[in-house]
Structure 1
Amino acid sequence: MGKVGKRIVAARESFAGKEDLTVEEAVSLIKANAKTKFDETVEIAMNLGVDPRHADQMVRGVVGLPNGTGKDVRVAVFARGPKADEAKEAGADIVGAEDLMETVQGGKIDFDRCIATPDMMPIVGRLGKVLGPRNLMPNPKVGTVTMDVADAVKAAKGGEVQFKAEKAGVVHAGVGKVSFDEGKLVENVRAFVDAVAKAKPTGAKGTYIKKVSLSSSMGPGVTVALDSATGN
């Protein structure tokens, strides 16, 4: 265990008995205990009162974090002709059509976001079993199936975050880096929570947002008071 063990023990001691903190308190605690040699991601997890197996309870959306994510997002675009050129000019890392499909089918997925023009969906559709489980399948509901590929690429590169409820009704995402100013992290957290709140599905009954937790990539988690997370 060595130094890593001591770091984890110390962090757990710092977090012990602390729960339902304000967003500000939680962010401060996480920053103070993130002592790895790399810039850890600040992660949020939201437990929702939904069952995503039912179509009217699926939670899905996208949010542009006001201060970005601090992550270098690699973007792949399925497009041809002028739209492919637009994607490249906007900063897309990978652009292609059938050739890109074959690359993905071969097991090489070297990107974090996938965008497609509508005419490419018959090709992209063949990749559902590969891209779907990784939450990379282009979807018009979150703006990744679009003719405005340049705007979509810039948004992805600029701090836009997609979210989707998993089987247990949990939504999670990275909302910045521990090196961020505390105020900027707080803004990002509240922007994310607000977006998930606005994405409440019609089939959700009872309490929608049950729990909000924050952590760093390698650190313990802490619960955040719901009224602080939602800004109410």
Structure 2
Amino acid sequence: MAKLTKKQKSLAEKLDAEKLYGVNEAIQTLRDLKSAKFDETVEVAMNLGVDPRHADQMVRGMVSLPSGTGKDVRVAVFARGDNAEKALAAGADKVGAEDLMEDMQNGNLDYDRVIATPDMMGVVGRLGKVLGPKGLMPNPKLGTVTPNVEQAIKDAKGGQVEFRVEKLGIIHSGIGKLSFSDDALKANFDAFVDAIVKAKPSGAKGKYVKKITVTSSMGPGLKIDTAEVAGV
């Protein structure tokens, strides 16, 4: 971690590990403790009362963050003909078919989102062992297998993020940068949490949202007072 200033050290020493923060207070505290020279990412982690080993307790989906992510999202698209031209015009970073498949098989996977038209799934299916472990496999339920590649690219580059609960019941995502305004980060926080709440699976028992933590790339994890979070 970068060296803290005297002010930051003083603030860090005063942090109560058990304190519950309001969202805006947590964001301001992360700003006060900022030590990195780069624009840190603000992240939200949620501990959920689910066991994703059971299919009826899986939590997965997409959410569009109203303020964007502040990240340059690289998108690869599997498409041919007119759809390939539309994908390029919409801003895809790479478009192809068998050639793109071979490129990925050779380890070129510097993408944040992979999209495919339905007719290309025969080709994409051969990349299951390559894309699956990285969470990049196109999926119709997530809108990444679609004939409307233009909208899918627009969504990906405009602030749409994918979420998926991990095996310990934790789900997390970046929701913007510390350079964002308080209102922008709060809007993204609300959108993300709301999407997780709405994605509550049928098999979830007991308390669904157990804990919410907000942190930054180089900052501490701050516990959020869930009593102040709408819908939780």
TM-score by length of 1: 0.94
- Name the structure 2 match of 1:149: 149
- Name the structure 1 match of 2:22: 22
Alignment CA distance shift 1:14-1:81 (3 Å) = farther
Secondary structure of the 2:3 match is helix
Alignment CA distance shift 1:5-1:130 (3 Å) = farther
Q: Are the equivalent residues in 1 in contact too, given 2:67–2:188 (CA < 8 A)?
A: yes
Cα distance in 1 between the residues matched to 2:43 and 2:174: 4
Q: Equivalent pairs: percent with the same residue?
A: 59
The one-letter code matched in structure 2 to 1:97 is A
Secondary structure of the 1:44 match is strand
1:37-48 pair list within 5 angstroms: 37-48=37-48
- Name the structure 1 match of 2:159: 159
- Name the structure 2 match of 1:117: 117
5+ long unaligned stretches in structure 2:
none
Alignment CA distance shift 1:15-1:163 (3 Å) = same
Instruction: Say what the alpha-carbon RMSD is for the aligned residues.
Output: 2.0
Q: After TM superposition, give the deviation of residue 14 of structure 1 in Å.
A: 4.6
Q: Are the equivalent residues in 1 in contact too, given 2:17–2:222 (CA < 8 A)?
A: no
1:100-139 pair list within 5 angstroms: 100-139=100-139
1:178 counterpart = 2:178: yes
Q: Are the equivalent residues in 2 in contact too, given 1:11–1:220 (CA < 8 A)?
A: no
Alignment CA distance shift 1:126-1:225 (3 Å) = same
The one-letter code matched in structure 1 to 2:189 is V
> What are the Cα deviations for residues 138-176 of structure 1, in whole angstroms up to 9, with x where unaligned?
111111110010000001000011100111111110000
Cα distance in 1 between the residues matched to 2:6 and 2:152: 44
Q: After TM superposition, give the deviation of residue 6 of structure 1 in Å.
A: 7.9
- Name the structure 1 match of 2:62: 62
1:28-107 pair list within 5 angstroms: 28-107=28-107
1:222 counterpart = 2:222: yes
TM-score by length of 2: 0.94
Q: Are the equivalent residues in 2 in contact too, given 1:44–1:174 (CA < 8 A)?
A: yes
Q: Are the equivalent residues in 1 in contact too, given 2:70–2:177 (CA < 8 A)?
A: yes
Secondary structure of the 1:3 match is coil
Q: Are the equivalent residues in 2 in contact too, given 1:15–1:222 (CA < 8 A)?
A: no
> What are the Cα deviations for residues 100-141 of structure 1, in whole angstroms up to 9, with x where unaligned?
111111111111111111111121122122211211111111
Cα distance in 1 between the residues matched to 2:128 and 2:6: 43
Cα distance in 2 between the residues matched to 1:132 and 1:6: 46
Secondary structure of the 1:62 match is strand
Alignment CA distance shift 1:8-1:115 (3 Å) = farther
5+ long unaligned stretches in structure 1:
none
Secondary structure of the 1:125 match is helix
The one-letter code matched in structure 1 to 2:34 is A
Q: Are the equivalent residues in 1 in contact too, given 2:12–2:33 (CA < 8 A)?
A: no
Cα distance in 2 between the residues matched to 1:33 and 1:193: 24
Cα distance in 2 between the residues matched to 1:125 and 1:22: 45
Q: Are the equivalent residues in 2 in contact too, given 1:11–1:219 (CA < 8 A)?
A: no
